[in-house]
Structure 1
Amino acid sequence: MPLLIVAIGIILLLILITGFKVNTFVSLIIVSFIVSLALGMPLGKIVTSIEGGLGGTLGHIALIFGLGAMLGRLIADAGGAQRIAMTLINKFGKKRIQWAVVVASFIVGIALFFEVGLVLLIPIVFSIAKELRASILHLGIPMAAALLATHSFLPPHPGPTVIAGEYGADIGLVLLYGIIVAIPTVIIAGPLYTKIAKKIVPVAFNKTGNIASLGEQKTLQLKETPGFGISVLTAMFPVLLMSISTIIDMIQKSVGFKDNTFEIVRLIGNPSTAMLISLVLAFFTMGIQRNIPIKEVMNSCTSSITAIGMM
C-alpha cells in the first residue's frame, strides 16, 4: 500500500507540472503534504519531515550546484567553450564535422549546465552548417545528444548529483559509470540516429531555421579566447580530481591500505572540494591570466547563480 500511495503521488506530481503547469518546487511541496497524509504520518511530524528532507538535499547539492554553475559561466564568458568547439571543428575537418560537434559538445557539456551549453553552441552549429552547406539537424542532433547525455549522467549536473546524494552513492563512481554509459548513448542518439532520421523524415533536414529567438549573441574573435589546452583543462579539472580520487580509493580497497593513507586525496577529490579548486583555477585561467578585472570575473559568478535558484 505505501508503494501504491507513492506511485499515485508521482502521477499527481507529473499532472501538476505538465498538465496544470504548476511550478515544480510548489508541486513537490503540495504532493509531499498529500502523500504524508495518505501514508498516515502524524500531523505534527509532517512539516518537520518535509523541512528535514529539503534541508538535507540542499545541504548536499547546494555547494556542487553553485560552484558548478560559476565554473561553467566563467568558461563560457571567457570564450573557453567557443575555443574548444572551434578548435575541434577545425581539426576534424569537413568529412568528420559531425564527430567534431559531438566531441566538442561532450567536453563543453561536462562543464556547462545544459541551457548554457545549448545557447552557446547553437550559433556555432548554425554558422558551421551555413559555411559547409550542411543540414542544421545533421549537426544539431549530435550536439543536443551530447549535451543531454552529460546533463543526465554526469555530476555536477543536477539530476545525477541529487540522485547520488539521495542514494548515498559515491559521486566519483557515479561520474565514472556515467561516462561509460554516456559515450555509447551519445553515439547512438547522435550520429547513428541522424542517419536513420534522414531516411525516415528527409524533408526535416532541408529546413534552414533561424536563431532570432535567442536574442543578441556575445561573439568573440578566436584570438581573444583562452588557449585550447587551458580551456579543456579548466573544463575537465573537476572530473579529473574526482576520477583520480575514486580510482585511488578503489585501488586502496583492493590492495588493503589503511583508510587514512590517502586522506588528502579523498579531501581533494570530494565533489565540493574539487569544484572549489576548479573554480579558483578558473579565476586564474579564464580571468586573471587574461587581464580580465576581478570585478568582471565576479559578475560572471553572480549572474550564474540566478540560473540555479529555482532549481
Structure 2
Amino acid sequence: MPLVIVAFGVLLLLVLMIKCKVNGFISLILVALVVGIAEGMNPVNTVTSIQNGVGGTLGSLALILGFGAMFGKIIADSGAAQRISRSLINKFGIKRIQWAVVITGFIVGIAMFYEVGFVLLIPLVFTIAEFTELPLLYIGIPMAAALSVTHGFLPPHPGPVAIATIYGASISMTLVYGIIIAVPTVIIAGPVFTKFLKGIDHKATNNMFKAKIFEEEEMPSFSASVLTAIIPPILMAFSAVCEIVLPKTSGVRHFAEFVGSPLMAMFISIIVAIFTLGIMRGKKMEEIMKILAEAASGIAMILLIVGGGGAFKQVLIDSGVGKYIAAIMSGSNISPLILAWGIAAILRLSLGSATVSAMTTAGLVLPMISSTNANPALMVLATGAGSLIFSHVNDPGFWMFKEYFGLSIGETMRSWSVMETIISVMGLIGVLLINIFA
C-alpha cells in the first residue's frame, strides 16, 4: 500500500504540472501534503516534515547555489567562460568538444558536491553551446554525466567515502575500481547517449548565462580565466586530501576543512573573481555588484522548486516508505552486490535522495559483507550505482536540471532520468564484471 500511495503521488504531480500547468513548487508542496496524510502521518507532522524538507535541502544548498550562480555569472560576464570555451574549441575542435566537457566535468566533480560542480560548470556549457550553435543538451549531458559518475563512484567525494567507512572498505581500492567503472560509464552515458537523444534541440538562449560576444581584447587571459575558475575544486580537493592523510587534531587539516567546505570555497572564489576578473580589469565595484544581484535574482524560482523537491523527499522518508521497502528487500537471498544495488535503486525511486538511499542501504546490507565475503569496495560501488537510478520528480536534482536547461518534465525524463539510469546500470555491470576477476 505505501508504494501505491507513492505512485499515486507521482502521478498527481505529473497531472498538476503537465495537464493543469500548476507551478512546480506549488505542485510539489501540494503532493507532499497529500502523500504524507495518505501514508498515515498526522497533518501537523506532515507540515513539519515539509518544513524540514525545504529547510534541510535549502539550508545546505541555498548559499552554495547562490554563490555558485554569482561566481558563474562573473565567469560568464567577464569573458572568462568565453576565453575557456574558445580555447577548448581550438584545442579539441567542435567534433571533440564533448570530450573536453567530459574531462572538465570529471576533474571538477571528483572534489565537489554535484550541485556545486553543476552551478560552476553551467555557464561554460551555455557559452560553448552559444558559440558552436550546438544543442544545449549535446554539451550539457556529458557535463552532467561526468559529475554524476564522480558523485556516485569516486572518493574523495563525500558519498563514496561515507559508504566506504560504513562497509570498512579501502578508499584507495574503491577509487581504483571506481575509475575502472567510471571511464566507460561516462563515455556511454555522456557523448554516446547524446547521439540517440533526438527531438530536444534547445539552444543556449533566454537564460541567465546567455553569452555576450566579447572581442579578443575584452577577455581576460586564459591563465587568469582558468586559475580563477578552478579555485573551488582546488580548495575542496585540498580539504579532501587533508582529511584522508592528516590526523583529526592537525591544524592544517582544520584550516583545509574550513577553506575547502563547499560554502567557503565558493565564497572565497567570488572574492578572488571580483578582483581578478573585475577590479583588475578596470570594472567598477557598482558594475560588479549589479552582476551579482542579477545572478541572485535569476535563481529564485530554481531554489523554491529544489526546496519543494526536498519537501516531497522528506515526507516520503518520515512516513516510513524507506523502512517499508528495506524490510521487503532484506529477506532476499540474492547476491549481496545485486541486493545492495537493488535496495538502493528502489529507495532512490521512492525517496528521490541518492545520499539517503545509499546510506540507508549501507546500514541494511552491512551484515552481509562478513557473512558472504563480499568485496567491500565493490559493495560501495554497487550501492552508489543503485542510488543513481532514474532520478525523477521526487529528486531535487531533477528539478535543478530541468529549470537550468529550460526543459519540460517529459524532456527532462528522456534526457536526465535516462542518463542517470544508464550510469546506474553500467555501474552494476562493471561491479559484477570486476567481481568475477577480483
Q: Tell me, yes or no, if structure 1 residue 223 matches structure 2 residue 217.
A: yes
Q: Tell me, yes or no, if structure 1 residue 121 matches structure 2 residue 128.
A: yes
Partner-residue secondary structure (3-state), 1:310: helix
Partner-residue secondary structure (3-state), 2:214: coil
Superposed displacement of residue 258, structure 1: 3.4
How far apart, CA to CA, are the structure 1 residues paired with 2:120 and 2:139?
14
How far apart, CA to CA, are the structure 1 residues paired with 2:118 and 2:260?
16
How far apart, CA to CA, are the structure 2 residues paired with 1:65 and 1:49?
23
What are the equivalent positions in structure 2 for 1:269-288 lying under 5 Å apart? 269-288=260-279
Return the TM-score normalized by structure 2. 0.53
How far apart, CA to CA, are the structure 2 residues paired with 1:237 and 1:271?
11
Instruction: Assess if the C-alpha contact under 8 Å between 2:75 and 2:229 holds in 1.
Output: yes
Amino acid at match of 1:237: I
How far apart, CA to CA, are the structure 2 residues paired with 1:38 and 1:212?
42
Instruction: Assess if the C-alpha contact under 8 Å between 2:102 and 2:146 holds in 1.
Output: no
Superposed displacement of residue 73, structure 1: 0.3
- Structure 1 residues not aligned, in runs of 5+: 127-135, 161-168
Residue deviations 1:6-65 (CA, integer Å, cap 9, x gap): 343233323333343321111111011101211222233332332222222221111101
Partner-residue secondary structure (3-state), 2:40: coil
Residue deviations 1:186-241 (CA, integer Å, cap 9, x gap): 533554456x66xx99xx9xxxx997965996211122101112211222211111
Instruction: Assess if the C-alpha contact under 8 Å between 2:237 and 2:260 holds in 1.
Output: yes
Task: Indicate which of 251, 264, 267 corresponds to 2:258.
Answer: 267
Residues 84 and 122 from structure 1, CA distance in 2 versus in 1: closer, same or farther, beyond 3 angstroms? same
Superposed displacement of residue 111, structure 1: 6.7
Q: Tell me, yes or no, if structure 1 residue 309 matches structure 2 residue 300.
A: yes
Instruction: Assess if the C-alpha contact under 8 Å between 1:84 and 1:228 holds in 2.
Output: yes
Partner-residue secondary structure (3-state), 1:258: coil
How far apart, CA to CA, are the structure 2 residues paired with 1:191 and 1:307?
29
Superposed displacement of residue 84, structure 1: 0.4
Q: Tell me, yes or no, if structure 1 residue 258 matches structure 2 residue 248.
A: yes
Identity over aligned residues, as a percent? 37
How far apart, CA to CA, are the structure 2 residues paired with 1:32 and 1:112?
27
Amino acid at match of 2:220: P
Provide the aligned length of Structure 1 versus Structure 2: 270
Residues 64 and 153 from structure 1, CA distance in 2 versus in 1: closer, same or farther, beyond 3 angstroms? farther
How far apart, CA to CA, are the structure 2 residues paired with 1:288 and 1:183?
40
In the alignment, what sits opposite 2:243? 249
In the alignment, what sits opposite 2:17? 17
Partner-residue secondary structure (3-state), 2:301: coil
User: CA-atom RMSD, angstroms?
Assistant: 3.8
Residues 274 and 153 from structure 1, CA distance in 2 versus in 1: closer, same or farther, beyond 3 angstroms? farther
Residues 46 and 112 from structure 1, CA distance in 2 versus in 1: closer, same or farther, beyond 3 angstroms? closer
How far apart, CA to CA, are the structure 2 residues paired with 1:284 and 1:278?
10
How far apart, CA to CA, are the structure 2 residues paired with 1:150 and 1:310?
26
Residues 188 and 142 from structure 1, CA distance in 2 versus in 1: closer, same or farther, beyond 3 angstroms? farther
Superposed displacement of residue 145, structure 1: 2.7
Residues 281 and 34 from structure 1, CA distance in 2 versus in 1: closer, same or farther, beyond 3 angstroms? same
Superposed displacement of residue 263, structure 1: 0.9
- Structure 2 residues not aligned, in runs of 5+: 109-116, 163-173, 303-438
Amino acid at match of 2:67: L
Instruction: Assess if the C-alpha contact under 8 Å between 1:98 and 1:142 holds in 2.
Output: no
How far apart, CA to CA, are the structure 2 residues paired with 1:184 and 1:305?
37
Amino acid at match of 1:124: F
Return the TM-score normalized by structure 1. 0.71
Q: Tell me, yes or no, if structure 1 residue 84 matches structure 2 residue 78.
A: no
Partner-residue secondary structure (3-state), 1:223: helix
How far apart, CA to CA, are the structure 2 residues paired with 1:87 and 1:79?
12
Superposed displacement of residue 118, structure 1: 4.7
Residue deviations 1:250-303 (CA, integer Å, cap 9, x gap): 223xxxx23454111111111111110111111111101111111111111111
What are the equivalent positions in structure 2 for 1:188-207 lying under 5 Å apart? 188-193=188-193
